[in-house]
């Protein structure tokens, strides 16, 4: 057992889908007293077990996960709610001398937990259209100059050719009358170090072989089908209150199976579409991770997984 004080520390184990995050966390449990906290936007929903690769009952009995089955599929669950719930679980872990370990691949949740959330206004299509029309007339450099006058700090951090961020900064100012940099400062005040006084270590499992990951994804999705995913989705449909507009039913695998039950394609195409959607999810997750220099990456199959995680904890001291 690794001897250290867990108080003030938080570990996150993340990576693309099907890479073995739960296996790594469970292996670590033999070395560190810990409290597992699910960081998965699909596992929050009750009755969605097969398509989410929910840990089986035996594993959960030995290694309980917080934040599983906390919402009905008819409900929504936001990153802001995750931060509140995860913070509560972190404090519980510390109070019981356990290391809080976030495990999952919902990158939005991890970024919100680490960096906090700015209370920005929602997008406004009309204002955005006005900004685009102005840019078409005057050019984006002129709009960047405008931003420099109203919010020099934001302009200094936004490249004139980054039209998406530039548009958002101008949009926020037009909607609120406040510079977006002020919202950024508020967000910094809600970071995990400010909220909890925590030292967060993030370990990302990045496979060496993309084809091997794709093969594993295909095998896993076909395994889900063999273990009853279609019947699981059929049962959810039969409730009568769920539809594809809900976040739960838009989850990878569930949307494709729902469409299969609508008669849009056969079983073999379902298997191909479900695996393809999962590969796209993994690609998006890896894109997030490539931009995070604060996540310590290692290959999950190099035999050094637990040692690497412990080393990451030591470096986060």
The whole-number pLDDT of residue 80 equals: 87
- Verify that 201 and 310 share a domain, yes or no: yes
Give the angle 64-80-33 at the CA atoms, nearest 5°.
25
Q: Domain range holding 248?
A: 211-285
- Verify that 200 and 132 share a domain, yes or no: no
The whole-number pLDDT of residue 312 equals: 72
- Verify that 202 and 233 share a domain, yes or no: no
CATH value at residue 158: 1.10.20.140
- Verify that 49 and 197 share a domain, yes or no: yes
Yes or no: say if 201 and 313 are a contact pair by the CB < 8 Å rule: yes
- Verify that 63 and 195 share a domain, yes or no: yes
DSSP 199: E
- Verify that 69 and 205 share a domain, yes or no: yes
- Verify that 138 and 93 share a domain, yes or no: no
CATH value at residue 37: 3.40.50.300
pLDDT tens across 202-253, in order? 999 999 899 999 999 999 999 999 999 999 999 999 999 999 999 999 999 9
The whole-number pLDDT of residue 31 equals: 86
In a domain, 51, yes or no: yes
- Verify that 20 and 105 share a domain, yes or no: yes
In a domain, 155, yes or no: yes
Q: How many domains does the chain have?
A: 3
CATH value at residue 280: 1.10.287.890
- Verify that 160 and 139 share a domain, yes or no: yes
Rounded to an integer, what distance in angstroms lies between the CA atom of residue 212 and that of residue 301? Answer: 11
- Verify that 57 and 203 share a domain, yes or no: yes
In a domain, 241, yes or no: yes
In a domain, 83, yes or no: yes
The whole-number pLDDT of residue 113 equals: 97
pLDDT by position in tens, the chain (length 317): 667 788 899 999 999 999 999 999 998 888 889 999 999 999 999 999 999 999 999 999 999 999 999 999 999 999 989 999 999 999 999 999 999 999 999 999 999 999 998 788 888 889 999 999 999 999 999 999 999 999 999 999 898 888 888 999 999 999 999 999 988 887 777 899 999 999 999 999 999 899 999 999 999 999 999 999 999 999 999 999 999 999 999 999 999 999 999 999 999 999 999 999 999 999 999 999 999 999 999 887 655 667 777 777 767 65
In a domain, 1, yes or no: no
- Verify that 223 and 300 share a domain, yes or no: no
Backbone conformation region of residue 137, classed left if phi is above 0, alpha if psi is from -120 to 50, else beta: alpha
Rounded to an integer, what distance in angstroms lies between the CA atom of residue 105 and that of residue 17? Answer: 6
The whole-number pLDDT of residue 217 equals: 97
pTM over 0.85: no
Rounded to an integer, what distance in angstroms lies between the CA atom of residue 76 and that of residue 72? Answer: 8
- Verify that 46 and 63 share a domain, yes or no: yes
**Who's near 167: CB < 8 A, 6+ residues apart?**
128, 131, 132, 135
The whole-number pLDDT of residue 228 equals: 98
């Amino acid at each position: 057992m690794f001897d250290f004080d867990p108080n003030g520390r938080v570990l996150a184990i993340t990576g693309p889908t099907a890479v073995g995050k739960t296996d790594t966390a469970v292996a670590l449990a033999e070395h560190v007293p810990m409290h597992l906290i699910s960081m998965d936007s699909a596992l929050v929903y009750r009755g969605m077990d097969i398509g989410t690769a929910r840990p089986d009952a035996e594993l959960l009995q030995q290694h309980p996960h917080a934040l599983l089955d906390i919402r009905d599929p008819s409900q929504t669950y936001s990153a802001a709610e995750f931060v509140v719930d995860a913070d509560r679980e972190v404090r519980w872990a510390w109070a019981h001398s356990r290391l809080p370990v976030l495990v999952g691949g919902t990158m939005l949740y991890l970024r919100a937990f680490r960096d906090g959330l700015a209370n920005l206004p929602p997008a406004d299509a009309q204002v955005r259209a006005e900004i685009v029309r102005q840019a078409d007339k005057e050019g984006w450099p002129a709009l960047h100059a405008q931003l420099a006058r109203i919010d020099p700090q934001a302009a200094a951090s936004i490249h004139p050719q980054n039209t998406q961020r530039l548009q958002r900064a101008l949009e926020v100012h037009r909607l609120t009358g406040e510079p977006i940099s002020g919202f950024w400062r508020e967000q910094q005040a809600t970071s995990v170090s400010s909220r909890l006084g925590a030292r967060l270590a993030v370990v990302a499992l990045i496979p060496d072989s993309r084809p091997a990951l794709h093969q594993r994804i295909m095998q896993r999705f076909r395994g889900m089908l063999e273990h009853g995913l279609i019947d699981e989705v059929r049962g959810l449909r039969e409730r009568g209150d769920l539809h594809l507009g809900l976040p739960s039913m838009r989850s990878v695998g569930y949307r494709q199976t729902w469409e299969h039950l609508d008669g849009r394609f056969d079983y073999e195409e379902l298997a191909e579409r479900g695996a393809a959607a999962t590969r796209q999810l993994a690609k998006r997750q890896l894109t997030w991770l490539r931009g995070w220099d604060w996540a310590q990456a290692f290959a999950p199959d190099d035999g050094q997984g637990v040692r690497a995680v412990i080393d990451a904890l030591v470096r986060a001291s």
